[in-house]
Amino acid sequence: MTNRFNFKKSVRIIFTTTLFCAMSFGFMSKVMAQPDSNFYIFLCFGQSNMEGQATPEKQDKENISDRYKMMAAVSFNSPSRRQYVWYKAIPPLCRQSTGLCPVDYFGRTLVENLPDSITIGVINVAVAGTAIEFFDKNYMIDYPGYQSLSNYGQQWYMNIMQEYKNQPYQALLQCAKQAQKSGVIKGILIHQGETNNGQADWIYKVKLIYNNLLTDLGLEAKDVPLLAGETVSKEAGGSCWGHNAVIAKLPTVIKNSYVISSAGCPMSTLDGQNVHFTAEGYRILGRRYGEQMLKCLEAGSIDIAEIGDSLTDGVFPMDKNVIDANILLEGKVLQSGNMISLSSAKGGVAGWYFHKTADLSQARYLVIDFKKAPSSSTKLRIYDAKKSTPGCYVKNLEAKTRNVIDLKNIPSTVDLSHISTVGFATEGNSIYLTGAFLSDDGENPINAIEPINLDRHNLLNNGVYNLNGTRITNGQIPSIKGIYIHNGKKILIK
């Protein structure tokens, strides 16, 4: 009796231990699981044509590969889908009551032409009638007059926005972060422009959204092409065909971007707006998106000289090839020696954009030097890479040649350890920068940049070089203050 009891007890202990180990192993496997490099994910955003306005036909719901998935950006009931969950990519791919869209046949084209080992996943966040400004993650700050933008305030529009909690950028970003746990983001698709028809600054607004996505998701521009579809063509009767001339200029500001032609894509006349495609139009356009992405995937990473990647030794580079005048809208940047003439467009921002983010948290001050005092209406803007509206600091600069910003006074809502942008809003006026650096005492840089005495002998024998490695002196101390190279070290000439 005793032995039988002990035997059962032993069996129970072994079973329990085995079950525990198995459960633990399963748990650890999930924890240790890495994203599948053969799961290619594509982010899609825009307005009504990206939502899809054509009723899917029988052919659009048949013969869809199990290798083609969609992530629900919001939960909905018909068909039943839950936010952040992957489903077979049967339309609708955006939200309930949306229709066939270019993404449907984009994914089909990829699946048909890529090896069987590759799975395709798409995420579609689109808002009918939206202006491009509302995909800016800081639109409440960047566009103070956003309430006056087209369609804002209309109930049907606000209902769609509410599904994304009035932050479509954040909705797309959070889906993308969830998706990165499963696979690898390989590209971004946009179809938008009807609401911004003909606006030349559209390309710069798209550039800001693209840059923000890269920064917030830890992606490299060289690895993530942006594909932008044209609006309904003039030949097809489109009312916004003029915007295609603007879309054509997108590759001039985003090197790894491509325009998808809408030529020959039939226009729908059902709603009388002359801006939407028929189901066949969406099929043609979607295949073209797919064919271009296949070319990008075959070519691999492209060579892009990314600007503003680093903040070396706590010093902001004084180089027109590093400073981005078009962070928000189109500005201008010129260089004379170590002086930068910089102006943002009205409502725009120009300055330094950090694709890999910059850490300002270890410094006490940000020091900015000007050749002549800026206008008191010039604003300094600092954006972090993690947050939306709260992650922005705005300060009117003083009319002084040196402005010292106490970083400890910046609200804690701005994450100084992950800064994406340090820029200026000049409202079209020029500012003349001669230096910008982090500091512990408001005067000296925080890292090993040596303010040294240069004598004529040292200059003649060793020279002074700019940060590009070009010798710039002929026995003379540079007349423009800033950061230089001397004897293999960075020096600060003030």
CB 285 within 8 A of CB 244: no
Q: Is it true that the peptide bond before 56 is cis, omega within 30 degrees of 0?
A: no
Give the per-residue pLDDT at 408. Answer: 92
Under CATH, what is the fold of the domain 312-447?
Answer: Jelly Rolls (2.60.120)
Residues 56-80 as b or e (16 or more Cβ within 10 Å = b): beeebeeebbebbbbbbbbebeeee
Residues forming a β-bridge with 489: 486
Q: What is the pLDDT of residues 55-68, one digit of tens each?
A: 999 999 999 999 99
Q: Where are the beta strands (DSSP E) in 159-311?
A: 184-191, 226-229, 257-260
Domain layout of the chain by residue ranges? 39-299, 312-447
Quick one: CATH architecture of 39-299?
3-Layer(aba) Sandwich (3.40)
One pLDDT digit (tens) per residue for the chain, 494 residues: 334 334 344 434 444 444 444 454 454 444 457 999 999 999 999 999 999 999 999 999 999 999 999 999 999 999 999 999 999 999 999 999 999 999 999 999 999 999 999 999 999 999 999 999 999 999 998 898 999 999 999 999 999 999 999 999 999 999 999 999 999 999 999 999 999 999 999 999 999 999 999 999 999 999 999 999 999 999 999 999 999 999 999 999 999 999 999 999 999 999 999 999 999 999 999 999 999 999 999 998 887 755 555 676 678 888 898 899 999 999 999 999 889 999 999 999 999 998 888 889 888 899 999 999 999 899 999 998 875 567 789 999 999 999 999 999 999 999 999 899 999 999 999 999 999 988 876 555 544 334 444 444 454 456 666 655 666 655 555 555 556 666 655 565 55
Residues forming a β-bridge with 474: none
What's the chain's length in residues?
494
Largest CA distance in the chain: 103
CB 227 within 8 A of CB 191: no
The number of beta carbons lying within 10 Å of the beta carbon of residue 455 is 9
Q: How far apart, in whole angstroms, are the C-alpha atoms of residue 125 and residue 285?
A: 18
Backbone phi and psi for residue 67, each to the nearest 5 degrees, phi listed first: -85, 0
